[in-house]
Amino acid sequence: MKKKVVLITGAAKGIGKAIALELAQAGYDIVINYFSSQEQAMELKNQIEELGVSCLAIQADVSKEEEVEEMFQIIEAKFEGVDILVNNAAIDLSNLFHLKTADEFRRTMDVNVIGAYNCSNRAYRYMLDKEFGRIINISSTNGINTYYPMCLDYDASKAALISLTHNLAVQFSPYVNVNAIAPGFIGTESELDGYDEEFLKEEQEKILVNRYGKPEEVAHLVKFLISDQANYINNTVIRIDGGQMGAV
């Protein structure tokens, strides 16, 4: 039986990498999308192939339609199409409010929201033809009601991604389930960088389990949501934040 193919955007490191490894171990064929982290993407590709599944690593800026089209043509030449799409690619240009620019805001929305739209819109063709598909959008509790003015553009993009999730679920029904995951603080390579210890301590105290999350824990949730056990879960947002107070 043909393995299902999963495209994970922004998959060279962090949460995307954890998802790629988790799903490869579960027997899915994997497509790693990356923008600038070529070395990490190639190392991950080798790791995944050692698990006995097929893997592509493709450089593309998901905010650009033409690059997304080229990426999907490469995928279709090898795998026919994408059964499962994980829209994980995101940037966070955190800065003091008065130093932010409209260009930074625009770039954040382009990658985090338009990128997810571009990939979903393109993946849907194959999903519709097969009458099956799963799309998981990686949002954030920042898009619900945890607010940090230094990353208001990121917060706005993650709220927009939740709205996009609901609209795509309606548009792509009944064959494609579209859900969003909203992680809280996850201890990736870069998530906790740049914050002072006092801020991190204060934020950890707001988490009921009193620790930061692990990328692998997000990956476990993705694996469940794309499985047959989750066939009746659609058009929803699932927080994975350790019980982060203020994110309701």
For 187-207, write each residue's pLDDT tens digit: 876 656 666 788 788 888 989
Least confident of 50-64, 88-102, 115-129, 164-178: 88-102
Q: Is 154 a catalytic residue?
A: yes
This prediction's pTM:
0.94
List 34, 124, 154, 212, catalytic entry: 154
The rounded distance, in Å, linking the Cα atoms of 109 and 47 is: 32
Residue 71: pLDDT over 80: yes
What mean pLDDT, rounded, does the chain reach?
94
CB burial class (10 A; 0-12, 13-18, 19+) of residue 101?
exposed
The rounded distance, in Å, linking the Cα atoms of 216 and 14 is: 9
| 36: its two tokens | 């600038």
Mean pLDDT of 157-186: 97
The rounded distance, in Å, linking the Cα atoms of 241 and 158 is: 15
The pLDDT score that the predictor gives to residue 230 is: 98
Residue 247: pLDDT over 60: no
Residue 147: pLDDT over 80: no
CA 100 to chain centre: 24
Least confident of 20-34, 56-70, 181-195: 181-195
